[in-house]
Chain A
């Protein structure tokens, strides 16, 4: 249902100038996951995972391949159903809500593998992102194009002609058109050159600060992720190993060696 949207988001024009909403430091988490357990047949991909993601903050979920990171996001957005546990958004239980309803509740999920719809043009991809909101003004699209000038040049091209970095920009821009309060990002750095990764992470940081977004960032590239995140959650074999301040985690050499591979 139409949630009251953060007033900071309605500020038109370049988002960079808008004031940071993160200063309020509320204790209540926007997105909260409690004891989430998900199984694929006999295999437990998630085993009692709990975490919180707050407004204006980037929460990075880290861990090796197979740690359950992608499953966590897929369970949160309803693509996979958990065997137990809860997902709360603003304190409201959304564990069993249909996938299609998530954007209505203010949560956007950018899936792994840069989920562009290859057969549609760049512009059509963006339009799909705003379909559920009914009529959306042209200026909102222009804002996304301002944010990502590289895809603006290619708006009439089919999405399968884009490069990896451009696709990532497109899907993030598309998610923004849903005007989410919570953004789930699955491995945005996958297969991208370090320069592009830095560029994209910088943009995400900027958006979080200006729009008071809450981002749950799943990454294997722990070094880059921790450099941009506020909080880090380390997963191993479906369990949370540690949750702490991002800088603290990055400084913990033993942890880095054991779980983060850098």
Chain B
């Protein structure tokens, strides 16, 4: 018989939406928001809409107040965050790990690249169609992987998806005639509409050659906002609750008639769709789809973003993705200026930091950045409530 091995825990320190013992997979956003919101889900939707609008306004402000260089970086943050958002749903909500999201991004990126190949002379399809196709293709692959993954757990799932991450780039080499081999496929930049130039000129007065990069950055950020709006609603919905039940209460969920397998597959599919879109955006941001962009280390970086931000939290995934983009240049500068290293070598410092962050997060704050802060707030609120109750 296994009784719990940890005596002494603080009773009732946290409310039910944040577990008192923090585990990696126990940091999802609250299922049942307290009081008012619970019986009026429409308010949640409205709140998310409000956040969406505010987010859009902030994004315009950010993109217009920063230089082109930063614009491009924000585009990078956007596609990483889209993929990390999908991974957050999968790992944080459904409790499955994936080291193959980089490979799924490759599927989206190559689909995009095939449709927007510079060497194709014909009129390119609309970007919307391209993105849809990329999402569709990745969803199909994701469903296949998901069916296998639904029956695996923990280390088995990690190993299988790691094999996917190692295997998929190889396909690009094997089918080098269509997929361009090591060099990959160069992607044609999307046409930007005239109104965009005018609008930007009105806003910040920017014009000229850099506008194309700016347009791409806007597309990337728009994709991010739409994806997060969708994911946030999904996570708060009845479906989100079901996923949490599948993760935390396997037996109870099964007794309640929930098919664990299908819900796990569904989580993988939704998550893969996000990765596909992320890959598509990556393809137009860097204007290239090549196997070198999708090495296992990409998948591991995504995992880093999700874990250190806080598993299950979209805000955490966004913060983590920002770290992935803004940390390396800073470290490279240090490596070059202080230690006199070459850039390629100095760039490795960021991986050391990612790895150590993963370890340290798991050892000291398994709920991640956002989760730890939220947990601390909840504890304080609970303590205050207890004090108030006792004072009466």
**Cross-chain contact of B11 among A41, A70, A74 (Cβ < 8 A):** A41
Q: Which residues 52-94 in A have Cβ within 8 Å of B in the complex?
A: 70-71, 74, 79-83
State whether the Cβ of B7 lies closer than 8 Å to any Cβ in chain A: yes
Asked if B7 and A81 sit within 8 Å, CB to CB, the answer is yes
State whether the Cβ of A132 lies closer than 8 Å to any Cβ in chain B: no
Q: How many residues does chain B have at the interface if contact means C-beta atoms less than 8 Å apart?
A: 10
State whether the Cβ of A134 lies closer than 8 Å to any Cβ in chain B: no
**Cross-chain contact of B7 among A70, A80, A112 (Cβ < 8 A):** A80
State whether the Cβ of A202 lies closer than 8 Å to any Cβ in chain B: no
Asked if B8 and A41 sit within 8 Å, CB to CB, the answer is yes
Q: How large is the interface on A (under 10, 10 to 19, 20 to 34, 35 or more residues)?
A: 10 to 19
In the complex, what distance in Å separates the CA atom of A156 from the CA atom of B34? 61
Q: In angstroms, how far is the closest chain A Cβ from the Cβ of B9?
A: 4
State whether the Cβ of A19 lies closer than 8 Å to any Cβ in chain B: no
**Cross-chain contact of A42 among B1, B3, B6, B11 (Cβ < 8 A):** B11
**Cross-chain contact of B12 among A40, A42, A81, A83 (Cβ < 8 A):** A42
List, in ascending order, chain B residues with CB within 8 A of A39's CB: 7-8
Asked if A41 and B7 sit within 8 Å, CB to CB, the answer is yes
Q: In angstroms, how far is the closest chain B Cβ from the Cβ of A186?
A: 10
Asked if B3 and A38 sit within 8 Å, CB to CB, the answer is no
List, in ascending order, chain B residues with CB within 8 A of A13's CB: none
Q: In angstroms, how far is the closest chain B Cβ from the Cβ of A125?
A: 20
Q: In angstroms, how far is the closest chain A Cβ from the Cβ of B108?
A: 46
State whether the Cβ of B69 lies closer than 8 Å to any Cβ in chain A: no
Q: In angstroms, how far is the closest chain B Cβ from the Cβ of A242?
A: 25
In the complex, what distance in Å separates the CA atom of A80 from the CA atom of B5? 7
Asked if B1 and A40 sit within 8 Å, CB to CB, the answer is no
State whether the Cβ of B4 lies closer than 8 Å to any Cβ in chain A: yes
Greatest chain B CB density within 10 A among A41, A42, A70 is at A41
| Chain B interface residues toward A at CB < 8 A | 1, 3-9, 11-12
| Chain A interface residues toward B at CB < 8 A | 38-42, 45, 70-71, 74, 79-83, 112-113
Query: 15 A-B pairs, CB-CB below 8 angstroms?
Result: A41-B4, A41-B6, A41-B7, A41-B8, A42-B9, A42-B11, A42-B12, A79-B5, A80-B5, A80-B7, A81-B7, A83-B7, A83-B8, A112-B1, A113-B1
